[in-house]
A and B are shown apart, each in its own frame.
Chain A
């Protein structure tokens, strides 16, 4: 579904991403793990078009994504749940969800989507008329996920959904994501620093360090790898 080949990108002359190749098949749950500054967020921003790559190719369902203007990419079925949540603070919860549903498929499936989102994340229903900026971090994260789902995406990209949250809240959000994935069969690409949880639930994983993919494999392979065990799992 999403095929990234030899991607290099960065903010100045010094590249943040170096020859990165990643493949996400339809229905897969793929996790990208790695330390701070490895280029995980830059990778997502390049997929969404906020960062221009200096080399490589990205195709999404056969479409050359780099030729598609950034705001059009959401309309192809890519939902980006950004790092740090980035909800619209002066819009209500409901309006935030409507913004998620700007895509054609999101508008068409609005009723069905909103019911499912409220079922998965009931706090959004309770607070539907509250301004997003006045909610707690965990609630904003749930809103960001709901907003992504409201577009009826083909691919849901989640950038560190646990960032800055209390461990219990992060656990709750992880469980929700796994439920959502089980019930919807949605293709997901997850970037995460909570390596153990990410690898546990994903089908396939990549380890990104200093802009390079240093390791990839299914979750058993990665979790059995000595480097991963030492560096990320503390074993």
Chain B
């Protein structure tokens, strides 16, 4: 029983971070309909950005070992958002958006090749620049825990770093939902996603909306990556491990649903942790995809996807 609650808590904590990671990709897919294979590698860059901001840019000496990592992680978001902005400007915009609206397949073939190419460059470039040694953003919080006693005889340990990771993820998720649902920019992103042509008629610059979504998506996933790095070491090829989970989360949530992607990621985190109760740890990822297939079998449109769209 104690094991169950412990796994549940661990699943919720890691699920919130996975959720945030998936939302970054979900935002890009939802608004642009571009399959971004390089997204895991943008996250890898986010991890290294947080790492170097913390160690080399003076944040460690300014904020200390406890608060410093989280400051660096939050700053990695804007850094990767700017990077994503220029990658879209220079590369992605050439094979997506209004330029390809009239092409067969709307440029999807070129998008696949381009984002795979970007992924390879980032991975191997990362190997050259960062080296192959495992890095991590450790804080003293990574190895200490709070003990909760929700019931008389059950004690649950919450890793402090992971708990703060989850809280930061939830806070960013709430801010993003407010941005998407309440602000003019957020609404115009959704309009551009719904119907790019009609959005143009409204005076919305669809390519600029795409660039905003791409930059936001990169920044959000970078923060999620930094948060993961407080507990998991990383290397230049770490993106490959996560990009599959990201896509599973986005599909579970419902392709195109930004909020759904968060719940997709949360589900994956929960399944991953709960599966350790009955399966060996090596089978964590197998369990994720078994549950993934099961959910997609019964609900092919995902949690929040729309089966039929009336136009």
Binding site for B on A (CB under 8 A): 11, 48-50, 69-75, 79-80, 82, 84-91, 95, 98-100, 102-103, 133-134, 147, 151
Contact = CB atoms under 8 A, between A and B. Distances in A.
Nearest to A100: B202
Interface residues of B, number: 24
Best-buried of B200, B201, B205, B311 by chain A (most CB within 10 Å)? B201
Given A88-B194, A99-B191, A151 B202 contact: yes
Nearest to A150: B202
Interface in B155-198: 184, 187-188, 190-191, 193-195, 197-198
Contact of A102 (B195, B203, B310, B311): B203
Contact of B202 (A74, A85, A134): A74
B200 A48 contact: yes
A91 B181 CA distance: 9
Given A89-B194, A89-B309, A151 B200 contact: no
A28 B256 CA distance: 42
Contacts of B190: 88, 90-91, 95
A117 B33 CA distance: 33
B197 A91 contact: no
Contacts of B187: 91, 95, 98-99
Instruction: Give 8 nearest A-B pairs by CB, closest first.
Output: A74-B203, A86-B198, A88-B194, A71-B205, A80-B201, A102-B203, A99-B191, A88-B191
Nearest to A76: B203
28 contacts: A11-B102, A50-B200, A70-B98, A71-B200, A71-B204, A74-B200, A74-B201, A79-B201, A86-B195, A88-B190, A88-B194, A88-B198, A88-B199, A89-B194, A89-B195, A89-B310, A90-B194, A91-B187, A91-B190, A91-B194, A95-B191, A100-B202, A102-B188, A102-B202, A102-B203, A133-B309, A134-B310, A151-B202
Best-buried of A48, A73, A84, A88 by chain B (most CB within 10 Å)? A88
B202 to A, nearest CB: 5
B9 interface: no
A89 B190 CA distance: 10
A102 B204 contact: yes
B311 A82 contact: no
A82 B201 contact: yes
Given A98-B184, A99-B188, A102-B188, A87 B198 contact: yes
Contacts of A95: 187, 190-191
Given A91-B187, A98-B184, A102-B202, 16 more contacts: A48-B201, A70-B200, A71-B205, A72-B203, A74-B203, A86-B198, A87-B195, A87-B198, A88-B194, A89-B311, A95-B187, A95-B190, A99-B204, A102-B184, A103-B203, A133-B311
Contacts of B201: 48, 74, 79-80, 82, 86
Interface of B: 98, 102, 184, 187-188, 190-191, 193-195, 197-206, 306, 309-311
Contacts of A147: 202
B93 to A, nearest CB: 14
A151 B200 CA distance: 13
B46 to A, nearest CB: 29
Contacts of B194: 88-91
A48 B204 CA distance: 12
A100 B203 CA distance: 8
A151 B202 CA distance: 8
A72 B200 CA distance: 8
Best-buried of A74, A79, A84, A151 by chain B (most CB within 10 Å)? A74
Contacts of A49: 200
Best-buried of A11, A70, A99, A134 by chain B (most CB within 10 Å)? A99
A71 B188 CA distance: 13
Contacts of A86: 195, 197-198, 201, 311
Nearest to B194: A88
Nearest to A137: B310
Contacts of B198: 82, 86-88
Contact of B203 (A71, A84, A91, A133): A71
A80 B195 CA distance: 14
A92 B152 CA distance: 48
A98 B188 CA distance: 9
Contact of A133 (B98, B102, B310): B310
B245 to A, nearest CB: 26
